[in-house]
Structure 1
C-alpha cells in the first residue's frame, strides 16, 4: 500500500489534509473489507394472469394500463414529472417495403403521444398528440427532460420545447444530425439523462455516423455495413474522428445538454436498442446478433470499450475472422481477440429492445438493483441482478414477465396460431414510472422488426406491473421547492431525477446541506446520486465527494472518482490514491480514466495497476489495455523491468497483459513462449494469437518460423494465421506461404469473357450476339457477367429479350432470382392466398420433408443443411406462421442484415458474387457454395450491391399452398437449439 501513498504528486491543501488525516487510517480497513454479498436473486414461481395473458412472479400483478387506439405501434416510452407516459409511434415503419395501402399509417408523419391515468385507478383514461411531424419516421427513442421532449428519429435527435406547459411544442430544434439509419432498426436510439446531468444515447451499426456537435467536434464512425445513412457515399471502414480514434459500428455517446462535448463511450455493437445507466454511472445495454446465430447479448459497457462485432477498423465481418474450432458466439463477438470487452450474457436467439435499471424499493427490496431488458423475439422481459466479479460483472438471467410458460421460454417448443397469439407479445420497451411501477410497451405483432410488420392496424398495449395487493400512488412533485427537488432526485424515474438534479445544482452551495443528508440514505443508489450532484455544487461539494473516495461501499468510491473526473481537470492525485484500492472494479475505473493521458504523468500509476493483475480477469486486463492505448511501446520497458522475467516463466497476469498489449518489443518473447514445449498448449496458442495481432514484418517472420517448426498444434495454428493475415493486415509483408486466392482466371471465365467480347463488339452480327448472350445466360459465370452488363445498361433490347428466355433456367438459383431485377420473366407470377394457407392443417412432419427438399440447400437447422442463408434453428421463436409466410412469399421485403448479395467485376472482366465479408486491401466475398473469393481492391473495376434477396419465391421452388402450410407448421415449432 505504501507504494501508492508515498509516491503521489503534489495535491491541494484540502486534499493533502484529507490524505494525511483520513486516508492512512482507512486504507487498512479497506484492505480487510469484503463486499457485501446479498442473497441469491430469485423470482420464485410464476402464475398466469388470465386478464392480461401474462406470466408473472407470484409477488407481482399486471394491469392493461393503455391500448390502441390511444396510441399505435409503440417503440419507446418515457415518463414526466406528472407521471404521464409519453410514447413514440412507428406507424410509418418501412413503408417503402410495407405497403401503405395495407398498413395503417400517417401521411403527416409519425407522432408522440401523451397518456395519463388521472384518477389513479391503474388505467390511462386520456391520450393526446404532443406532436406529429413529417421528420418523424418510425422514431426509436423519446426522453422528457424538464420542458424538453427529445425524440430520436434518424438521422437526427430532435428537441421539442414546450415553453408554456400546454403540451404543444413551442420550439423545434435539430439537436444533432448525421446519424445513419434513416427509417431503420439499426439507427438512432433513445437519449437518457445520466446521473451526472449529461445526455447519453446510442445508435446501431447502420452507419456511417458523421455527426458534428455544437462545439465543432466531429464523430466519424464507419464500417462494412451501411443501412441507410445520409452519408452513404462517404461510408468507409477506418474513418477517424476528431479525437484521433477509430470508432466502428454501433456506438454509445455522451453529450452536454447544450450539445457540446460529445464523447464516445463505447463502440462496435451491432444494434444496441437502448442504453441504461444506473446511479453509479454503469452503462447497461443489449445487442442483437446476425439472425440465426443465437448470439443476442445483454452487457455491461466499459467506458471506451470495443464490443467486438466487426474487426478493429470495421473492414471485416466476424465470419471473415472466424478461427478454426471457434464456437459461433465466440467468433460472432470476436471474444478471443485482444482489445474486445466480454460479451456479458449470451441469451441465444431473439430481438432485444428497451432496457431500464430499477433502483427503488417500491417493488420490494429484492428488486432494487435489477436490470430489466426487453426481448421481443422471445416474448419476455428479462431480469438481472448484476453480480460483481473481479473488475466486471456476472449477469444471471431470469424471465420476469412473459406471454409464455416458463418451460416454453426456455425450451421454446410451442407455436402460435391465429387462435393462440401468445407470441404476438412483443415488448418494445420497459420503463420505471414515477410511482415505482414497471411499465411495458407491447408492439403487438406477429413480426418483430427486421423491416416487416404483419398487424395492419398498428395495435399496441402498455402494461403496468406492481407488487401484488400494493397500491403505488403517483407522487406529487413540486419542483419549485428544495424539498420537491430532493424528492425528484430520489424518484424511481431516471429522467425525472434529472429535473431535481439540474435545479439543485443551480442552487450551488445553498442546497448542500439538503443534498449532503442524502448521503445517509439507506439506499446506496440514492447516495450515489448525491455524490454526482455534490461534485457540481462548488468547492464545498467537491470536498464532500473527496471524502467518499474512502466510503466502505466500493460502488460509492467508484462513483466519487467518476464524479470528480467530470469536474476536476487534474485527477492524477485521485488516480494514484485509488490505484491500490482493494476492489478490482475501482482500480479498473482508474485505469480507463488514464487512457488519453501522457505516459510521463501516469506511468507509475499504470505499473501499480498492472502489478495487481493476477490473470483470469478479462475485464481488468482490457481496462489496462485501454489505459495503455497508444502507449504500449513506451511503457513496455518499465513493465518488463517491474513484472517481466524469462518469457517461459511469465506470470499469468503478465502473460495476459502481453497478449492484450502485444507490443513489438515482445515479439521475441512471444515466439519463445509459442515454441516452449514446457508450457501448456493454451499458453503456447495464446502467444501465437498475440503475434497474429502485431502488424510488423518481424511478427510475420516469427510466425513463419513457428509454422516451419514441428510443434504439434502450434504449427498448424501459425500456418492458419499466416494464410488468414495475408488477406488483410499482413497483405503488404513478405511471406513465403501458398496463396489462398480464389481462381477467377479459370477456363470457364475465359470462355465467358470471349462471349462477352462478342456481345460488346460493334462489328459482330446481332444473331451472333444473341447466340453468345444465350450461352452466357445458361452458365453461372456468364449469368453473373450478364447481370453486371444489365446493371450498366449495356444490353440492347434485343439482347435483354434473348437473355430473358434463358437466364431464369440458370443453374445458379441466386442468378435466377437476381435476374428478375433486369429481365422479364417469361412465366406469370403465381399468387398465393395467405388465408387459404393458414386455413390448411399443416403437418410438421411433411413440413420437414419440404425443408429438406427445398430449403436445406441454403439454410441450416441444427447440423442439417447449408450455411448460406440465415440459420433457421430457432426461427419459430421470432416469427409465427403469418410472419413466416410473409418472409417466405415476400423474401425481398426485408433482406436479413449481412445477407445482401454483391457482384464484383474485375478490371480484366472476370466476376465474383457473394456476401461481403471484408473490405480493405483484400476484398473477401463468400460465394454461393461457401467458397471464398479474396480479391485485391486494386483489381476491382466495379461493385454492385443488390437489394433483392437471393431467396427464391415459393413458385420458383415449385411449392404449392399445401407445401407452405406444412413448411410453416414445421418452422414455427423450431424454438430451441
Structure 2
C-alpha cells in the first residue's frame, strides 16, 4: 500500500519582525511504513497534486505531519497523553446543500480519527477510527481528557469513554444537549479543560440554546438570528435563564466535569469558533462579522461581558442600531454603547476558526505567551503577544504561517488562476502538542464560509511547526507517580495538564509540598497552574494561594484571587484587600466578582474601585458596570456623594461612570451637560448618548428639550435618538416630534390591495382574476403580494401559469429571483459551465465595468456601490477564482447570514419586504432601496423568510462566460483593506 506525502524544502524568503521562511511543497510518493488497515482507500484516487507555498518566521520550519486519506475535512484537533493527534471529521457537512452524489461523505455518520507518529520522525504513519456515529454530523470540537473523548456535535456534547484503553468507546453519554445549530458553523464548539479543572466551551449564535445541566439548572439563550440551516428552529430574543439573566447570541460557558454548575461567562458573540484559556484564567476567542463588513475580531473576554453583536436582549441587529457617523466596525459590535466590552483586534474580513494559547518556551522564549488564532478565510494563523494595558489588553498582530506573501499583493493577484491553490490553505484549527510543537489542521478548500465546499474529495492536511533544526521529542508521560503528575501539569498541551491536575488534587495534602515547588518555576504560567491546583488541595494549599495575593507579579495575584473565588464562600476579605491594588487588571477581577453580591456587603469595595477610575480605560469602566449591575440607582447616590460634583464639573472618571450606569437620577445632570456651551462636542454627545439609554419618560422629556434647543449638532443628535428610540425601547412613551414620511399605508398600496381582493374573491370572474394577477406581477408591491399568496398555495394552476409569463419581467430584481421558487420562468437558460468560464482569461479592468453595471446595485467595493448585499471589498482575500465562480453562478448555494429576504403581510393586507433588523413590539425591515419599515408587531398577519438568495443568476443579469471571467478577475484582486 502507498500513501501520498509532501517533501518540504525550507528556503529563506526575507526577515521582518519575526523574519519569514518560505516553504515550497512539492509532491512525491514513497512506500508507506505501516499498513493503515483502519482506513482503506483507493490508490487511484487523486487527493493532491498541486504545489503550495507557505510562509512562516525564519526561525521555524513546518513539515507535513499527516494528510488524507488518513482523515478527511478536519474541523478540530486534540492530543492525548501518548502524543497522538485526535481529529474530528466533517465529511457529512451540509449534505442538504452539498450533493452527496458529488461530495465524499459517510452514510454511517462522521468520525473521530486517531493519528500517531510512532517512530518520532515527524510524520504520522498510523491512522485509525476511534468512533463513527450517526449522531456526529460535522462535529466542530474534540477534547481528550483522560479516558474521556468529548465531542461537540450540535445539538449535543457527547462523551465517549474508553474504559479498557483499546481505542474504542465502551460507553457513550449525552453530556449536555439542547444547543441550536445542528450541522451549522454557528453551533456548538469544542470543550477544553481550564486551569481550574473545569470544562470551558462556547456556542455560536445559531440558537436558541436551551440546555439543562445535571443539577437541573437551565440556560436559555436566544436572539434575532434566523438563518443558515433548514434544521434551525425559531430563535427567541429576551429569554431568561435560571440565573435571572438574559444571555444573547453566541455564548461562552463553564461546567463541572460531572455535568453540574453550568455558568455563562460571556455572551452576545456572532460565532466564536473556539474558546482558549491561558493558565491565569484569561479567556480568548475570535469572532466573525456579517460577511464583508471588515469586522472580524480576536478578543479577550471579560467574565460576564457583553460582546455587542446584538442589542442587549438580542432583538435587534447592529444595522438597526447604527448611529449617524459610526464606522461599520464600531456599529457592528455596538462599541459606543454602554455595557459592551471593547472588541480587541479588528482583523478585517475573514472566517476565524480554532484558537489556542502557547505557554511553553520549547519554541523559543519569544513565542511564550503567544495567542494563536486560525483564520481560514485569510489563509493564515495569526499570532499575538497580548500586552496588559490598564484593565484590558493591547493586541499586536503578526502572521505565524500563511499561504500568502505579505509584501506582494500584486503577485497574489497575478497567480490567481484556476491552477493556483494559494487560497486553498484553510487552517481550521491550531493545537499545541505534548512535544511543544504547533500542529495546524488544514481543511484545504477553495471555499470557506456560507456552508459551502468546492473540494469534493474531503482532502485535508496537518502541518507540524517546530524551531528550525531543533528536535522536539514526544515526552513519556507517567501518571503513576507524583513527579509524573507534575510533569503532566506543566506539559505544553492544554488537556494533558488536566490529567496531572486531577490526580494531584486527589492526593490533597499529601502532594502539597511538591506542588508548592512549582511556584518557584521560572515559567509564570507553570506557577499559575500550581496556584489553581493548590486551591483544591485543602487548608495548607489554600494558605499557599492566599500568600500569592502578595506576589510581585500582578498576573499571579489575579490568578490567586480567581482561584480563591471558586473554593471559598466568603471572598469579601480578599476583595477588600485587592480593591486598592496598583494593578487595574487585579481591581477589574475584584469588580466582576462583585456582580451578584448584595449592595450592603460590597458598597465600600465598589466605592474604592470606582475611585480608582480616572477615565480613558474602557475595560475598567465596563468591569465597574458589571460590578454595579442591578444596583445602579442605589450605588449612584453613594458615588455622587463620594466622587461627584455639579454636572458641569464632573471628572472624566465620574462622567464615564454616569454614562455606563445611566441611572434615572442622572437625567437632569445629563441634560444640563448636553446643552452646556462650556463643554466640548464630545462631552455633550456623551451626555446625549447616556440619556438615550435611560428607559424612562423623564429621559424622553429631557431629550425633547435638547431637541428643541439651538445648539448645533446636539439638536440633531437628540432628534435622531427620539425617532430611533420611538421604534424600540421608548415605544410606549409619549414622544412629540415631527413625523417622518410613512413608508407603509393602505393608501400607498390601495391599487394592489384592490387587485389582491379580486384574486381572493371567489365570485370574481377568471378574466378579472387574470387581469388583476398580470397587473400585480408587473408591480413591485403586487409582486411581493403574489409571492405571499403563492407561499400560502392560494393561486390556482391557471393563475400561476399566467403570472409566470409576466412576473419574471418585474422591475424588482428580488421578485424576479424569488419568483423562481413558485413560478416557471419560460426563458430560463441552462446553467453556465465552470469549465467554459475558467478557460477564458479574465480582464480585471473590464470586470470592474461588469461590477459597476451589474453588481453595484446591491454590493459595495470601497465607497462604490450600495450597501444591500454583503460588502465585497475584501472578497479576494476569502475566495479564489473557483470559489468566486461558484458563488456567482450558484448564488443560492450559500446565502450569507443575515441576508435572508423576509416578506411581512399586515392585517390590512399591505406588505413589506427586506432584511429583518429588529424583532420586538416594533419589527424593523430594511428594504432593497435602504428604506426602513417600522412595523407594529401586533399589526402583522404573517411572515415569510425565503431560503433563496435574492442575488440573480448570471443569465438573469444577461452575463455571459466572458463577463463572469472578467468579473472574477476583478473580484479576486479585492484583498486589501484600502479597496
Q: TM-score interval w.r.t. the shorter chain?
A: over 0.9
Partner of 2:131: 131
Structure-2 separation of matches of 1:417 and 1:742: 50
Structure 1 CA distance, aligned partners of 2:804 and 2:880?
36
Aligned counterpart, 1:453: 453
Q: CA RMSD in A?
A: 1.4
Alignment correspondent of 1:88: 88
- Partner secondary structure for residue 53 of structure 1: strand
C-alpha deviation, 1:724, in angstroms: 0.5
| Contact 2:71–2:113 (8 Å) recurs in 1 | yes
Residue by residue over 1:721-759, the C-alpha shift from the partner in whole angstroms, topping out at 9 and shown as x without a partner, is 001000100010001012336422264510000011111
Deviation at 1:409, TM superposition (A): 7.1
Displacement of 1:230 in angstroms is: 10
Q: How does 1:762-841 map to 2 (within 5 A)?
A: 762-841=762-841
Equivalent residue, structure 2, for 1:879: 879
Task: Evaluate the alpha carbon distance shift between residue 886 and residue 212 of structure 1 in structure 2; reply closer, same or farther with a 3 A threshold.
Answer: same
Q: What is the TM-score with the length of structure 1 in the denominator?
A: 0.95
1:146-182 deviation line (CA, Å, top 9, x unaligned): 0000001111111100010000000111111111111
With over 3 angstroms needed to count, the CA separation of the structure-2 counterparts of 1:904 and 1:515, relative to structure 1, is: same
In the TM superposition, 1:317-356 aligns within 5 A as: 317-356=317-356
Question: What SS does the corresponding residue of 1:329 show, helix, strand or coil?
Answer: helix
Provide the rounded CA distance (Å) in 2 between the counterparts of 1:298 and 1:345.
Answer: 5
In structure 2, how many angstroms separate the alpha carbons of the residues matched to 1:42 and 1:251? 37
Gaps of 5+ in 2: 1-14, 26-51
Matched-pair contact (CA < 8 Å) for 1:851–1:967: yes
- Aligned match of 1:505: 505
2:317–2:917 contact (8 Å) kept in structure 1: yes
Q: Following the alignment from structure 2 to structure 1, what is the Cα–Cα distance between the partners of residues 617 and 411?
A: 32
Q: Using the TM superposition, name which of 841-850 and 591-600 deviates more.
A: 841-850
* Correspondence for 1:549: 549
Match of 1:923 in 2: 923
> 1:659 corresponds to which residue?
659
- Which residue of 2 is the match for residue 110 of structure 1? 110
Contact 2:21 2:60 (8 Å CA) reproduced: no
Which residue of the partner structure matches residue 593 of structure 1? 593
Contact 2:181 2:231 in 1 (8 A): no
Is the partner of 1:624 in helix, strand or coil?
Answer: helix
SS at match of 1:337: coil
How many residues are paired up? 937
Alpha carbons of structure 1 residues 766 and 113: separation in structure 2 relative to 1, 3 Å: same
Q: Which runs of 5+ in 1 are unaligned?
A: 1-40
1:472 aligns with 2:472: yes
**Aligned equivalents of 1:740 and 1:508: distance in 2?**
70
Aligned residue in 1 for 2:681: 681
TM-score normalised by L of structure 2: 0.95
In 1, the alpha carbon distance for the partners of 2:824 and 2:515 equals: 73
- Counterpart residue number, 2:897: 897
SS where residue 136 of structure 2 aligns?
coil
Contact 1:900–1:947 at 8 Å: present in 2 too?
Answer: yes
Check the 8 A contact 1:505/1:536 in 2, yes or no: yes
Deviations 1:847-891 (A, max 9, x none): 111111111111111111111111111101111111111111111
Using the alignment, how far apart are the partners of 1:660 and 1:814 within structure 2?
Answer: 42
1:339 and 1:422 map into 2 onto residues whose CA distance is 41
Alignment correspondent of 1:4: none
Map 1:136-215 → 2, pairs under 5 A? 136-215=136-215
Alpha-carbon distance between aligned partners in 2 of 1:270 and 1:234, rounded to the nearest angstrom = 17
Which digits, 9 at most, give the CA deviation of each residue in 1:692-714, with x for residues without a partner? 00000000000000010011111
Check the 8 A contact 2:205/2:269 in 1, yes or no: yes
For 1:407 and 1:966, how far apart are their aligned partners in 2? Answer: 25
Cα offset, 1:406, TM superposition? 1.8
1:233 Cα deviation (Å)? 5.1
Asked if the contact 1:73–1:90 (Cα under 8 Å) also holds between the matched residues in 2, the reply is yes
Residue equivalent to 2:296:
296
Task: Quote the residue 1:437 is aligned against.
Answer: 437
Check if 1:582 corresponds to 2:582: yes
Contact 2:222 2:247 (8 Å CA) reproduced: yes
**Contact 1:182–1:228 under 8 Å retained in 2:** no
Which residue in the other structure is 1:36 paired with? Answer: none
Query: Which residue of the partner structure matches residue 20 of structure 2?
Result: 46
Counterpart for residue 21 of structure 1: none
Contact 2:181 2:232 in 1 (8 A): no
How many angstroms apart in 2 are the aligned matches of 1:87 and 1:656? 47
Instruction: Kindly state the Cα deviation for residue 534 of structure 1 after the two structures are TM-superposed.
Output: 0.2
State the match for 1:426 in structure 2. 426
Q: Assess if the C-alpha contact under 8 Å between 2:370 and 2:386 holds in 1.
A: yes
Distance in 2 separating the partners of 1:169 and 1:209: 28
Q: 8 Å contact 1:411–1:976 — kept in the other structure?
A: no
Match of 1:835, SS state, is helix
Q: Is the 8 A contact 2:266 2:305 kept in 1?
A: yes
* Contact in 1 for aligned 2:528/2:559 (Cα 8 Å): yes
Q: Are the counterparts in 1 of residues 309 and 317 from structure 2 also a CA contact under 8 Å?
A: yes
Corresponding residue SS for 1:763? coil
CA distance in 1, matches of 2:881, 2:16: 34
**Alignment CA distance shift 1:228-1:958 (3 Å):** closer
Deviation digits for residues 905-955 of structure 1 (CA, Å, limit 9, x no counterpart): 000000000000111111110001110001111110000000000010011
Q: Does residue 712 of the first structure (1) align with residue 750 of the second (2)?
A: no
1:275-674 equivalences in 2 (<5 Å): 275-408=275-408, 416-674=416-674
| Deviations 1:427-472 (CA, angstroms, capped at 9, x unpaired) | 0000000000000000000011321000010110000000000000
Alignment correspondent of 2:9: none
Structure 2 CA distance, aligned partners of 1:44 and 1:108?
A: 46
- After superposition, where does 1:241-260 map in structure 2 within 5 Å? 241-260=241-260
Tell me which residue corresponds to 2:948: 948
Q: Deviations over 1:585-632 (max 9, x none)?
A: 000000000000000010110000000000000000000000000000
* Structure 1 residue 805, shift from structure 2 partner: 1.0
Map Cα deviations across residues 291-310 of structure 1 (whole Å, 9 max, x no partner). Answer: 11001000000000000000
Question: How far apart in 2 are the matches of 1:887 and 1:738?
Answer: 45
- Matched residues in 2 for 1:240 and 1:228: separation? 25
1:745 match: 745
Residue 844 of structure 2 corresponds to residue 844 of structure 1: yes
